[in-house]
Amino acid sequence: MKVRKAVIPAAGLGTRMLPATKTVPKELLPLVDKPVIQYIIEEAVASGIEDILIITNRAKSAMDDYFDYYPELENRLIKDGKLEEAAEVRRSADLANIFYVRQKETNGLGHAVYRAKRFVGDEPFAVLLGDDIMMSKTPVLRQLIDTAEEYHASTVGVQLVSDKAITKYSSVLFENVKDRVMRVLDVNEKPTLDKKFSNYAILGRYVLTPGVFDALEHTPPGHNGEIQLTDGLQLLCHRENMMAVDFEGKRYDTGNLKGFLEATVDFALADPKVGPWIADFIKQKAEKLN
């Protein structure tokens, strides 16, 4: 089992980041000096992915422009001797083979993933949510692919979250297999506390077998009246082996303001260009606040 394809659902309305996301897709908001979605594509490529399908919508065509060549800009930069900037602009367009398909109605994450059926064909594939970014030594998707390939099974990325958080995510019923690897017995979407299976939540990364498409075809509308990916996964884990990896790394939800600000600070601190400067800036601010 080899995972070569990835799907990035990015057709959500981004209502938690308004007004910024009224006209700018949340996936294009800059984190330090790159748009959020570029970090996700870089994680996929570093995990061995070659072909990427972005699920987009009619308000997000700026995303396909970003991953295209821009000869006028590149030529001007080269003429001005700004060769590094020109190379960086070109690099973003050459990261992977990127394809697009539109989700014509915003009808949930499961509905968005189902748009990938023809692109995926008969292979296992990765799903990376367009607003979840990871900071880790080994790319988080690579950690999932290793387990998916070892067990020939769909694999979801999980981490322990608080009681307050689990009600917003999907909770996993599992049995331990080995260090950081579990077998998934059941999942439920946004459980109330009395219905949670555990505090392990699925966080933004999946490797799925094509069996998920048949499962999604048999998934009725769930939370918000939308087709939820977790409901499809519930069906899938009852039909096929499914694994979970308690992945190493920190996950940021850039789709809400606090998560976006946390990511901005942490990624700036980790960036050699601005890290020392922002560390000093934060120290000075903190001293004034004390």
Could you list the residues that contact ligand UTP (CB under 6 A)? 9-16, 55, 103, 106-109, 111-112, 129-131, 255
By C-beta, is 13 or 282 nearer to ligand UTP?
13
Neighbouring CB atoms inside 10 A of 163's CB total: 9
Q: What is the DSSP letter of 125?
A: E
Nearest distance from residue 109's CB to ligand UTP, in Å?
A: 4
Output the smallest distance, CB 113 to ligand UTP, in A.
8
- Shortest Å, Cβ 68 to ligand UTP: 21
Distance CA 191, CA 199 (A): 10
The sign of the torsion formed by the CA atoms of 106, 110, 111, 112 equals positive
Closest distance to ligand UTP from the beta carbon of 166 (Å): 16
The nearest distance, CB 6 to ligand UTP, in angstroms, is 13
Which contiguous run of DSSP H or E holds residue 59?
none
Quick one: 53 or 109, whose CB is closer to ligand UTP?
109
Amino acid at 176: N
Nearer CB in complex with ligand UTP: 106/138: 106
Nearer to ligand UTP, 27 or 47 (CB): 27
DSSP 100-122: EEE-SS---HHHHHHTTHHHHTT
Q: Which residue has the tokens 């694994």?
A: 243
**Nearest-5° Cα angle at 133, 129 to 137:** 125
Burial 253-279 (b: 16+ CB within 10 A, else e): bbbbeebbeebbebbbeebeeeeeebe
124/255 with CB nearer ligand UTP: 255
**Residue with Cβ nearer ligand UTP (130 or 181):** 130
Which residue number places its CB atom closest to ligand UTP? 12
**29 sits in which H/E element:** none
Closest CB to ligand UTP among residues 19, 272? 19
The full DSSP string for 268-281 is HHT-TTTHHHHHHH
Q: At its nearest, how many Å lie between ligand UTP and the CB of residue 237?
A: 20
Shortest distance, position 101 Cβ to ligand UTP, whole Å? 11
